[in-house]
Chain A
Amino acid sequence: MKKFLILIVTVIGFAAGIYTMRGAIDKHYEFTQPIDFSHYVHASKYKIPCIACHQHVLFGARAGIPNIEICGACHSTPMKKTPGEEQVFGYVKSHKQIPWYSIYYVPDYVYFSHLRHVVIGKLDCKLCHGDMAAFTSPPITQFLKIRMSNCIDCHQKRHASTDCWQCHR
């Protein structure tokens, strides 16, 4: 009977451990953004292309997050009264950057270049980031989880190089 009890306790302990671990991993990928930004209004309703705000895609490895000057270029005068826009005005007037959370990141030993994928490879943003134009609220998780298996799958499908040194350094 004692042995049986110990067995049950260990099994429950393992299950609880795995469950909490899973929670920690999932939490790691979930964020809340400071402003309720709607990609739908910008990209779908007013048809602003992605690269109008995410400008660094065309010039280098990192896409970057748009700074407040880019927001201020359009939002210097009020357009519509929404709580989100008022928040943006606050940042524009005080010349403060909006503390966006970066959801996508690659480890420093991985070289991922937007220039190589978007300009040279002519890939659609949707392939990795999903249909952002349909989102009315900011994304909270990665659309395509950043895993090496996901990279390799696509590289093999499109006959791109799978040589280690092309991405790892």
Chain B
Amino acid sequence: MAKYGMVIDLNKCTSCQACVTACKLENNVQIVSPDDASEGRTMFWMKMLTLKYEGDYPNVKPKAIPRNCMQCDEPPCIKVCPVRATYKTEVGIVAQIYPQCIGCRYCMANCPYTVKVFNWYKTEQPKEVEKCDNPDVSVRPKGVVEKCTFCVHRLQIAEEKAKAEHRKLQEGDYVPACVEVCPAKAIYFGDLDDTNSDVSKASHDYRAFGLLEELGTIPKVRYLNAIE
């Protein structure tokens, strides 16, 4: 079985936030009102994590890195779920089953990366964009926790197509929306077990590091340190 992982090269990343936009559109992530956003109820699966601001006023450069679900090998969130709504699948992706979720938010509290978001309200969209939802992804109801799934619906469709054509899944058949859209090609994605894949080579680079690795979560999303 493949073990999917992601490596984000911070040398190439320009913090343009194309991945954030693509993720939001691909996965029907709810757009919240400014009032709710000020209460900290913004919903992002892929979010820019601002580390620091460099320079003085007119020439300020925010240093931000994209942060999605780390799809940990030892996920802390699955250990606290009372209803097994979140668990690690055989391909290493941490699944979130929305109809199973009771919205207790234990997993949110236990996630050291704070990547999980809660649907505080019923999704209300402007009439103009009502039918613009991605039909491959469900619109989550109120009271459910959601998170990045590495665009698992794309994996299902790619796997089906490969099987129908009697071939194996090749590299590049399945990529999440953020990887596809990145203009700087800063995100590598693929099978970590395949030693010839770009992502596997990048994850063993001397610049590679993971966020909060000391917790022992073994994140499958790794970063390549920026060297100036």
Can you show 14 pairs from A to B with CB atoms below 8 A apart? A61-B136, A61-B157, A109-B99, A113-B160, A115-B164, A120-B163, A163-B89, A164-B87, A164-B95, A164-B100, A165-B93, A168-B99, A169-B152, A169-B153
Are B89 and A111 in contact (CB-based, < 8 A)? no
Interface size of B as a range: 20 to 34
* Contact of B139 with A by CB under 8 A: yes
Total number of A residues with any Cβ neighbor in B under 8 Å: 17
Q: Do A108 and B99 form a contact, CB below 8 Å, given A165-B89, A165-B152?
A: no
* Contact of B98 with A by CB under 8 A: yes
Interface residues in chain A, defined as those with a beta carbon under 8 Å from any beta carbon in chain B: 60-61, 107-109, 111, 113, 115-116, 119-120, 163-166, 168-169
**Min CB–CB distance B222 → chain A (angstroms):** 23
Q: Which 10 pairs across A and B sit closest by C-beta, in order of nearness?
A: A165-B95, A109-B138, A108-B138, A164-B97, A120-B163, A168-B97, A119-B164, A115-B160, A116-B160, A109-B99
* Contact of B226 with A by CB under 8 A: no
**Min CB–CB distance B153 → chain A (angstroms):** 6
* Contact of B156 with A by CB under 8 A: yes
What chain A residues lie within 8 Å of B149 (beta carbons)? 169
* Contact of B184 with A by CB under 8 A: no
What chain A residues lie within 8 Å of B138 (beta carbons)? 107-109, 169
Interface residues in chain B, defined as those with a beta carbon under 8 Å from any beta carbon in chain A: 84, 87, 89-90, 93, 95, 97-100, 135-139, 149, 152-153, 156-157, 160-161, 163-164
**Min CB–CB distance A112 → chain B (angstroms):** 11
What chain B residues lie within 8 Å of A166 (beta carbons)? 156
What chain B residues lie within 8 Å of A163 (beta carbons)? 89-90
What chain A residues lie within 8 Å of B136 (beta carbons)? 61, 111
What chain A residues lie within 8 Å of B135 (beta carbons)? 108
Bound Cα distance A119, B160 (Å): 9
Which of B84, B156, B161, B163 lies in contact with A111, CB distance below 8 A?
Answer: B156
Bound Cα distance A169, B137 (Å): 7
What chain A residues lie within 8 Å of B93 (beta carbons)? 165
Bound Cα distance A165, B94 (Å): 10
**Min CB–CB distance A104 → chain B (angstroms):** 16
Bound Cα distance A166, B160 (Å): 12
